[in-house]
A and B are shown apart, each in its own frame.
Chain A
Amino acid sequence: MIVTEFYNTRKDGVNLYKTYSDKNVYIHKIGTEEEYSEAIDIEGSGFEYEETNKEIVDEPLNLELYD
């Protein structure tokens, strides 16, 4: 399911909203070829998203050190 929630308010007063999938898949911005793991948009942007079947792979934040 696509989830959209309030993210924060910029210094200029513009509200930002975050959209993501609760199934941990990339989301596709409808009408474009753009895909996001999370999408933060300004209030009233009008962008709509749908889930893809591409799972978001956890990023290796802590790589092992190599010999």
Chain B
Amino acid sequence: MAKNDNIQDLLIDVADAIRAKKGSTSLINPQDFADEIKNIESGTWDELKRVQKKDVNFYDYDGSILYSYTTEQAIAMSELPPFVSHENLTQTAWNHTLTEVREMARQCGHASVGAIFTTTDGFTYIYCVLTDTLDVSIGLDTWGKGEVSVDWGDGNVEQNSITSGVAFTHTYAKNGRYTIKINSISGTAIFNGVTPNDVVKGVHIGNMSQASANNLPNALFFTSTVLNNNGSVNYGGWINIPTSVSSIRFKGFGKGITYSPSCTNIVCISANGLKEFVNNGACSSFNNNFCLEYIYGETPMVAWGISWSPTLRYVQNPIGTEIPDGCFSYSKSLTEFKSPDVTRVGAQAFSYSGIKVLDMSACTSVPTLSNANAFLNTSLTEIRVPMALVDEWKAATNWSTYADYIVGY
């Protein structure tokens, strides 16, 4: 929306008129409109008012809501809403399937769905809304010598050779909405984040070699689409996600975690603000997630991998041939768990967790229970096993300790 210099006066006139009509000076204060005036001046008013948030929301690349539905409407959906497109971006998918959306609506009463985009030209795009600041700095690094051009979106373009960490800085002439385009000409540049990161509404990593996971903008994960198949978070070991990030969804790291062979060595994500993690693919560990509630998609079970997740209460699709040692230990909100067909349950697999009902009915034989302490200090009440295996299960080593809880299912 174009800036309207008269809109502030108009709003004040409206406020004065309402106040006069009400005959009161306490009901309406022109200052009440300050935020709206600021949004109008910065050109974001239209987008903020576009769609009202409901229970199930479909998000655009910048965090704005494209479509919203009540829980009942979402459960009754027969197809996902139509794709959208933007300049430089082509939507390729939603990050949840229709089945997942309906399941989340049923189970959780709410869901957030993001649009997955690819850039049409392979460049990196940073979407900014400047309201309180005019200064923006982009951190870049490089493998060896690199050549980078930065189009700031206001007519200014610069191109530089970089050999190590560097910040490209720019001062805009006025507030507003800007799309910054970065072309890693050499293909060796590394995206290291934007300062201040609260102005960033989305990032699409294009032809850079990788993005630094330790300094990603807070807004990066608004739609989970920002690191798409054009990009790669090429980090092994630990990834620290900013506490502002509440959700990482399908292709949230694009090739990085989900598909890239170069990232299969990621062993743990430490994300204290995370409330859900969807289709984690090769990522193997979630321990120490103190807000994580849901894990959707295929979740590899590894030793101590999902332990110490005290808020975790739902794992949609755990995969593996065993529930390894300590896998869900200390996950105190996990009261029910449906296991795939496994051959082993490790020591302390559920110790100190909230497990009450363990559904092992998918097992085709009695799995080895390495140690009875798998359920140490729990309130276990029921272990569901195939009807044909009940007697064998009750007599099996270590399972025999829990014979009272074993029921045919």
Shortest A27–chain B CB gap in Å is 10
Closest to A10 in B: B403
Cβ of A50 under 8 Å from chain B: no
A42 to B401, CA, bound (A): 8
Pick from A11, A14, A42 the residue with the most CB of B within 10 Å.
A42
A29 to B401, CA, bound (A): 17
Is B307 within 8 A of A63, CB to CB? yes
**Can you list, as one digit per residue, whether each of B365-388 has a CB less than 8 Å from chain A (1) or not (0)?**
000111111000000000000000
Is A41 within 8 A of B288, CB to CB? no
**Can you list, as one digit per residue, whether each of A47-67 has a CB less than 8 Å from chain B (1) or not (0)?**
100000000000111010111
**Which size bracket describes the interface of A in this complex?**
20 to 34
User: Given A12-B403, A16-B400, A63-B308, are A36 and B288 neighbors across the interface (CB < 8 Å)?
Assistant: no
Closest to A26 in B: B370
User: Given A10-B403, A59-B325, are A39 and B397 neighbors across the interface (CB < 8 Å)?
Assistant: yes
Pick from B329, B347, B395 the residue with the most CB of A within 10 Å.
B347
Contacts of B308 in A (CB 8 A): 63
Is A34 within 8 A of B368, CB to CB? yes
Question: Of the candidates A16, A45, A59, which one forms a contact with B348 in the assembled complex, judged by CB atoms under 8 Å apart?
Answer: A59
Q: How many contacts A-B (CB < 8 Å)?
A: 66
Question: Of the candidates B307, B326, B397, B401, which one forms a contact with A34 in the assembled complex, judged by CB atoms under 8 Å apart?
Answer: B397
Contacts of A63 in B (CB 8 A): 287-288, 304, 307-308
Shortest B73–chain A CB gap in Å is 40
A45 to B217, CA, bound (A): 60
**Can you list, as one digit per residue, whether each of B237-253 has a CB less than 8 Å from chain A (1) or not (0)?**
01010000000000000
Shortest A8–chain B CB gap in Å is 8
Contacts of A35 in B (CB 8 A): 368, 370
Contacts of B401 in A (CB 8 A): 7, 10, 16, 40
A47 to B370, CA, bound (A): 15
The chain A residues found within 8 Å of chain B, CB to CB, are: 7, 10-12, 14, 16, 29, 34-42, 45, 47, 59-61, 63, 65-67
Using A37-B370, A45-B395, A59-B329 as known contacts, list a sample of 20 further A-B pairs with CB atoms less than 8 Å apart, ordered by residue number in A. A12-B404, A16-B401, A34-B368, A35-B370, A36-B368, A36-B370, A38-B398, A39-B398, A40-B372, A40-B397, A40-B398, A41-B397, A47-B397, A59-B325, A59-B326, A61-B329, A63-B288, A63-B304, A63-B307, A65-B288
Sample 30 A-B pairs with CB under 8 A, ordered by A number: A10-B400, A10-B404, A11-B404, A12-B403, A12-B404, A14-B403, A16-B400, A16-B401, A34-B368, A34-B397, A35-B370, A36-B368, A36-B369, A36-B370, A36-B371, A36-B397, A36-B398, A38-B398, A40-B372, A40-B397, A41-B397, A45-B395, A59-B329, A59-B348, A60-B326, A63-B288, A66-B238, A66-B270, A66-B288, A67-B270
